[in-house]
Structure 1
Amino acid sequence: MSVLKRPIITEKSQELNAKGKYTFEVAMGSNKIQIAKAVESMYGVTVDSVSTIRQFGKSKSRMTRSKVTTGRTPTFKKAIVTLAEGEMIDFYADL
């Protein structure tokens, strides 16, 4: 199983990209050292620091004709990776 699942591309994460910080969804069991090594090997950049966040799932409910259905969105782990000065990752290069 890979440590990095996908990059998170939102308006807030795009603002962080200008500061040299990139956001990824990572495996729940991964630690900061594994995340740094995975980013360095996949993108060929130098990682300065890694911050991790567990994003807990939210409760969702919806109305159907016969009843109210409730559930939860999944919990996932995010990593904010700070790169060394002058380094950058281009997610759109291979498109």
Structure 2
Amino acid sequence: MDGIKYFVVTDKSIRLLLKNQYTFNVESGSTRTEIKHWVELFFDVKVIAMNSHRLPGKGVPIMGHTMHYRRMMITLQPGYYIPPFRTKGT
């Protein structure tokens, strides 16, 4: 689970929960197959689709810049859900 940083909570990610899609920020060096394996193993779910995009780092005037990271949108099979994020409709 070292590759998954945290669950993303935005307006869009909350809307995607109704479609059984979960959004995570992951390490930029992680591959799609690693992330899929970690999610299926840790949460005991079946992943049917994954989309990702790379977000740019931000410049900080004094400290330099922040690291780049990837955002993964993971779609689960119907009937599966990640327990802390279960919605009322499922």
TM-score (norm 2): 0.79
Larger strand fraction of residues: 1
Greater C-alpha radius of gyration: 1
Number of positions where the alignment pairs a residue of Structure 1 with one of Structure 2? 86
Q: Show CA shifts across 1:43-84 (max 9, x none).
A: 1100111111101124467xxxxxxx6964442111110101
Alpha-carbon distance between aligned partners in 2 of 1:45 and 1:59, rounded to the nearest angstrom: 37
Q: Residue 68 of structure 2: which of 75, 80, 85 is its match?
A: 75
Alpha-carbon distance between aligned partners in 1 of 2:57 and 2:27, rounded to the nearest angstrom: 15
Corresponding residue of 2:43:
43
Following superposition, the deviation at residue 9 of structure 1 comes to 1.4
Q: Residue 85 of structure 1: which of 66, 78, 84 is its match?
A: 78
Determine whether 1:14 maps to 2:14. Answer: yes
Q: Which runs of 5+ in 2 are unaligned?
A: none
User: What CA RMSD, in Å, does the superposition of the two structures yield over aligned residues?
Assistant: 2.1
Alpha-carbon distance between aligned partners in 2 of 1:38 and 1:70, rounded to the nearest angstrom: 33
Q: Which runs of 5+ in 1 are unaligned?
A: 62-68
Identity score, percent: 31
